[in-house]
Amino acid sequence: MTTDTSGMHGPLTVLSEEESAFRDAVHEFAEQEVRPRVQEMERATRIDPSLVPALFELGLMGIEVDEKYGGAGGSLMMVTLAVEEISRVDASAAIMVDVQNTLVNYPISRYGTDAQREKYLARLTSKTIGAYALSEAGSGSDAFGLATRAEKHGDDWALTGRKLWITNGADAGLFVVFVNANPDAGYKGITAFIVERDTPGFSVGKKEDKLGIRASSTTELIFDGCVVPAANVLGEVGQGYKIAIETLNVGRIGIGAQMIGIARGALEATLGYVKERKQFSTRLADFQGIQFQLAQAATELEAARLLVYNVARIKDAGGQFTREAAMAKLFASQVCERVTSLCVELHGGYGYTKDYPVEKFYRDAKIGTIYEGTSNMQLQTIAKLLLK
């Protein structure tokens, strides 16, 4: 059962004054600070370092974190709005904000000790980028087939192994890392650790050369007898699988927001283009066939937005949201692929060039069906909960 928040809030897309003001501020920031940097960041395959302090300054790196730790004390709905607005301009900048809020701040806020919260949340809201490290070369969709190990040595743990596909890997100063501290117990041995970048035995490996979200760093992490104090165990030993699943469920809402933002950006660019471009002495916008395609795309995008906003509201109201998060991520990523593909087609040959923004939106869309659980994994989750 999910919590009905409709009576408390009204229509999903009608925002409170605070939410509306926040969204407008992020929209303006995305236009003024992110948009001028997009092409150069794409060429350099990195986030412009001068953009990062601005993300912290606006409070975007600690939206839900309690104010006593330097956060904004906001909601997941506000995280959703921020990720959508930035993704409309650049998905790479948006994913930095998304991972920080949903995959790093969230588990530390939820499962950290008072000492961990005081020490790390204050940094994560003011200056330190975080990363979430679960995937390995041999465990992608099988997220808990982890080969990375943790061995107890007195009051410390020694971590050995490698992580792959770690978003923010090149930029992060802090990592939430999942390893197996008791392989004989299977997934019940999985434990979460907070690892600082300068810890001896820890290093960042190869940076991936990707199809889309190219300015977002995706790297390998190497643990070579990396010694982490017992005080840095997040939650309890053996509780890692629960923390990982719960965190990914929240993260899927963020990915849904990213996908609706990308689709919006592509659609807005295309609406402008078809009003200007003429063929056979007629604007593209005046051909009924094109009008219908755009109407269909806008309708699907609105349906995806409603799914994403709804699950964010459910989470904020304290309801169960696993199924709804899987549905939102699944559908939003599918819609994003369809909409961005159409947008490239409606631009004709121009859409296939880097002179127009739609080719980048199209490339950035693809990751949505893969990371934080592939579409097949979302279908499996939804089916399991339907049939239990």
Tens digits of residue pLDDT in 186-237: 999 999 999 999 999 999 999 999 999 999 999 999 999 999 999 999 999 9
269-322 pLDDT per residue, tens? 999 999 999 999 999 999 999 999 999 999 999 999 999 999 999 999 999 999
Reply yes or no on whether 372 is catalytic.
Answer: yes
Instruction: State the Cα–Cα distance between residues 63 and 99, nearest whole angstrom.
Output: 12
C-beta separation of 175 from 199 below 8 A: no
Spatial separation of the C-alpha atoms in residues 210 and 221, rounded to whole Å = 17
Domains of the chain as residue ranges with CATH: 6-129 (1.10.540.10), 131-241 (2.40.110.10), 243-387 (1.20.140.10)
| Angle value at C-alpha 85, between 259 and 171, nearest 5 degrees | 80
Question: What's the whole-number mean pLDDT along residues 252-256?
Answer: 98
Q: CA 290 to CA 287: how far, in whole Å?
A: 5
Interval 45-71: pLDDT, tens: 999 999 999 999 999 999 999 999 999
Among 101-105, 143-147, 254-258, name the one with the lowest average pLDDT: 143-147
> For residues 131 and 124, is the Cβ–Cβ distance under 8 A?
no
Tokens 């899927």 locate to 252
Q: How far apart are CA 287 and CA 283, in angstroms?
A: 7
What is the per-residue pLDDT for 8?
52
Given phi > 0 = left and psi -120 to 50 = alpha, else beta, which region is 14? beta
Predicted confidence at residue 141, as pLDDT, reads 82
Task: Kindly tell me if the per-residue pLDDT of 329 is higher than 70.
Answer: yes
CA 28 to chain centre: 21
Which two tokens mark 227? 């010694």
CA dihedral for 385, 335, 131, 80, sign (positive or negative)? negative
Q: How far apart are alpha carbons 114 and 117 in whole angstroms? A: 5
pLDDT band for 241, please (50, 70, 90 cuts): very high
Banded model confidence at residue 6, pLDDT cuts 50, 70, 90: very low
* Angle of helix 91-98 versus helix 358-365 axis, rounded to 10: 40
Average pLDDT rounded to a whole number, residues 24-30: 98
**Band of pLDDT at residue 1, cut at 50, 70 and 90:** very low
Range 237-244 average pLDDT: 97
**With 50 as the cut, is the pLDDT of residue 239 above it?**
yes
What is the model's pLDDT at position 101? 98
Residue 144 has pLDDT above 70, yes or no: yes
Burial class (CB in 10 A: 0-12, 13-18, 19+), 96: buried
> For every residue of 232-261, which 3-state class applies, written as one string?
HEECCCCCHHHHHHHHHHHHHHHHHHHHHH
Report pLDDT for 4: 44
| Distance from C-alpha of 191 to C-alpha of 58, rounded to nearest angstrom | 33
Check residue 9 and give its pLDDT. Answer: 60
- Beta-bridged to residue 279, according to DSSP, are 282
- Residue 131, token pair as written in the block: 């990363």
Q: Are strands 282-283 and 218-229 parallel, antiparallel or unpaired?
A: unpaired
Write down the pLDDT at residue 7.
45
User: Which listed residue (85, 220, 337, 372) is catalytic?
Assistant: 372
Lowest-pLDDT range, 98-112, 142-156, 164-178, 349-363?
Answer: 142-156
Nearest to 73 by CA among 4, 5, 20, 121: 121
Q: Is 273 exposed, middle or buried (0-12, 13-18, 19+ CB in 10 A)?
A: buried
Q: Where are the alpha helices (DSSP H) in the chain?
A: 6-9, 17-29, 38-44, 51-57, 76-87, 91-98, 106-111, 114-116, 122-124, 240-276, 288-316, 322-346, 358-365, 375-387
Q: What's the pLDDT at 143?
A: 75
Q: In the chain, what is the straight-line distance between the N-terminal and C-terminal CA atoms, in Å? A: 13
How many angstroms separate the CA atoms of 146 and 228, rounded? 18
Q: Which residues are 221's β-sheet partners? A: 163, 204
Arithmetic mean of pLDDT over the chain = 96
Q: 23 to each of 15, 138, 262, 299, how far by Cα in Å?
A: 9, 40, 16, 22
What is the mean pLDDT of the segment spanning 22-31? 98
Portion of the chain with pLDDT greater than 90, in percent: 95
What average pLDDT score do residues 240-244 get? 97
User: What b-and-e string marks burial along 5-21, b requiring 16 or more CB atoms within 10 Å of the CB?
Assistant: beeeeeebeebeeebee
What does 22-56 look like in DSSP terms, one character per residue?
A: HHHHHHHHIIIIIGGGHHHHHHHTS--TTHHHHHH
